[in-house]
Amino acid sequence: MNGSTLYRRLLTTTSALALGLNVGAAHAQNAAWNPAPGSNDWDTGGNWTPAAVPSDTATFGPSNKTSLTFSAATTNINTLQFNAGAPSYTFTLSANNFFNINGAGIVNNSANQPTFALTNTGYLNFHNSAAAATRS
C-alpha cells in the first residue's frame, strides 16, 4: 500500500469517526420534579418527568418531597422555576457538592421561597446572567 492510499484511508476513517461523534450530541433537558418522587435526590432521573435529571429548566410544583439533596459532586442547571402553588423547597448542598446555576437563574411564581442550605463545604454558584430570584 503506498502512502497516498494509506492517507486516504486514514482521512476516510477519521472523517467517519468525527461524524459519528455528533450523532449522540447532548441536548439540554427540561424536567419537572415529581409529585411523589422515590427519593429526595435531585440526581436520580426517576424523580423527574420525563425520567431524566434536568440540565436546562427544573420545574417545581406540589410534591410530597420538598427537601432535596444531591448525590453528584457537581450539578448544573440553567433555570429553577417554581410554579404557583409550589411549597417551600429546601436544597441541601454538603460534602463538596457544587450546584451551578448557569442561565436565567431562579424564577419564583410561588408565594413560598426556596431555601439553600450549604453545609460541610457545599457550594451554590450563579454564573453568566443567572439571577438569585425573580417573579414573573
Query: For the chain, what are the domain ranges?
Result: 28-134
Integer Cα distance of 109 and 106 in angstroms: 10
What tens digit of pLDDT does each residue of 88-128 get? 999 999 988 999 999 999 999 999 999 999 998 899 999 98
Closest among 58, 28, 62 to 43, alpha carbons compared: 58
Q: 49-69 in b/e burial notation, b at 16+ Cβ within 10 A?
A: eeeebbbbbbbbbebebbebb
What tens digit of pLDDT does each residue of 61-78 get? 999 999 999 999 999 999
Integer Cα distance of 110 and 92 in angstroms: 20
Whole-prediction pTM value? 0.78
